[in-house]
Amino acid sequence: MEFKSTINSIAVLFILMMVFGNALFAQISISSEDVLNLIGISGVVELDTTENVTVNVGSSGANQMWDFTSDVIVGTSYDFEYITPEGTPLASEFPNANMTQTASFTSGNTSTTMYIYFSVTASKMSELGGGMYIASPDTLFQVLNGGSFTPLPVNYEDQWVAVKSDTNDLGQGIFLINKSVTTSTVDAWGTVKIPAGEFECLRIREDRADTSKSVFLGEEVVIGSSSTISYLWLGKENAMLVSIESQDGETNPNFTNAYQISRLKDASSPNAIESENTDVLPTAYALNQNYPNPFNPTTKISFTIPESQNVKLSVFNSLGQQVRTILNENRKAGYHEVEFNAIDLPSGTYFYQIEAGRYKNVRKMLIIK
Which of the two residues, 30 and 17, has the higher pLDDT score? 30
Residue 265: predicted pLDDT: 87
Could you tell me the pLDDT band of residue 39, with boundaries at 50, 70 and 90? confident
User: In this structure, what CATH number is given to the domain that contains residue 352?
Assistant: 2.60.40.1930
Of the CA atoms within 13 Å of residue 298, those in its CB half-sphere come to 5
Question: 140 pLDDT exceeds 70?
Answer: no
CB 258, CB 247: distance < 8 Å: yes
Question: 3 pLDDT exceeds 50?
Answer: no
For residues 232 and 346, state if they share a domain: no
Residue 274: predicted pLDDT: 39
Sign of CA dihedral 34, 47, 293, 195: positive
| Dihedral over alpha carbons 110, 116, 117, 119 (to 10 degrees) | -170
Judged by average pLDDT, the poorest of 152-166, 215-229, 258-272 is 258-272
Q: How many CB atoms lie within 10 A of CB 48?
A: 23
Condensed to tens digits (0 to 9), the pLDDT of residues 89-114 reads 888 899 999 999 998 887 766 778 88
Judged by average pLDDT, the poorest of 32-41, 70-79, 135-144, 177-186 is 135-144
Question: 20 pLDDT exceeds 80?
Answer: no
For residues 263 and 286, state if they share a domain: no
CB 271, CB 40: distance < 8 Å: yes
Could you tell me the pLDDT band of residue 32, with boundaries at 50, 70 and 90? confident
Residue 327: predicted pLDDT: 94
The helix/strand/coil state of 355 is strand
Prior bond to 253 cis, omega within 30?
no
Q: What whole-number percentage of the chain has pLDDT above 70?
A: 85
- The span from the CA of 149 to the CA of 253, in Å, is 23
Residue span of the structural domain in which 359 resides:
273-367
For residues 254 and 283, state if they share a domain: no
Question: 2 pLDDT exceeds 60?
Answer: no
Residue 270: predicted pLDDT: 47
Residue 200: predicted pLDDT: 84
Residue 281: predicted pLDDT: 61
Q: Which amino acid is at 113?
A: T
For residues 220 and 295, state if they share a domain: no
Residue 8: predicted pLDDT: 47
For residues 139 and 238, state if they share a domain: yes
For residues 215 and 279, state if they share a domain: no
Which of the two residues, 135 and 173, has the higher pLDDT score? 173
Residue 173: predicted pLDDT: 85
The helix/strand/coil state of 343 is coil
For residues 224 and 280, state if they share a domain: no
Residue 234: predicted pLDDT: 85
- The span from the CA of 284 to the CA of 326, in Å, is 22
Residue 109: predicted pLDDT: 67
Q: What whole-number percentage of the chain has pLDDT above 90?
A: 45
Q: Which of 267, 285, 315 is the last residue of a domain?
A: 267
CB 303, CB 312: distance < 8 Å: no
Residue 280: predicted pLDDT: 54
For residues 221 and 263, state if they share a domain: yes
Q: Which of 233, 267, 301 is the last residue of a domain?
A: 267
Q: How many domains does the chain have?
A: 2
Question: 258 pLDDT exceeds 90?
Answer: yes
Of the CA atoms within 13 Å of residue 211, those in its CB half-sphere come to 9
For residues 173 and 296, state if they share a domain: no
Condensed to tens digits (0 to 9), the pLDDT of residues 298-338 reads 999 999 898 899 999 999 998 889 999 999 999 998 889 99
Condensed to tens digits (0 to 9), the pLDDT of residues 40-62 reads 888 889 999 999 999 999 999 99
For residues 33 and 54, state if they share a domain: yes
Q: Which of 267, 299, 330 is the last residue of a domain?
A: 267
Q: Name the average pLDDT for the chain.
A: 84
- The span from the CA of 241 to the CA of 307, in Å, is 32
For residues 243 and 308, state if they share a domain: no
Judged by average pLDDT, the poorest of 110-124, 262-276, 345-359 is 262-276
Question: 4 pLDDT exceeds 60?
Answer: no
Judged by average pLDDT, the poorest of 8-22, 162-176, 206-220, 257-271 is 8-22
Residues 6-14 have a mean pLDDT of 45
Q: Which amino acid is at 366?
A: L
Question: 178 pLDDT exceeds 60?
Answer: yes
Closest-CA residue to 113 (of 271, 358, 347): 347
Which of the two residues, 20 and 360, has the higher pLDDT score? 360
- The span from the CA of 306 to the CA of 309, in Å, is 9
Prior bond to 306 cis, omega within 30?
no
For residues 39 and 101, state if they share a domain: yes
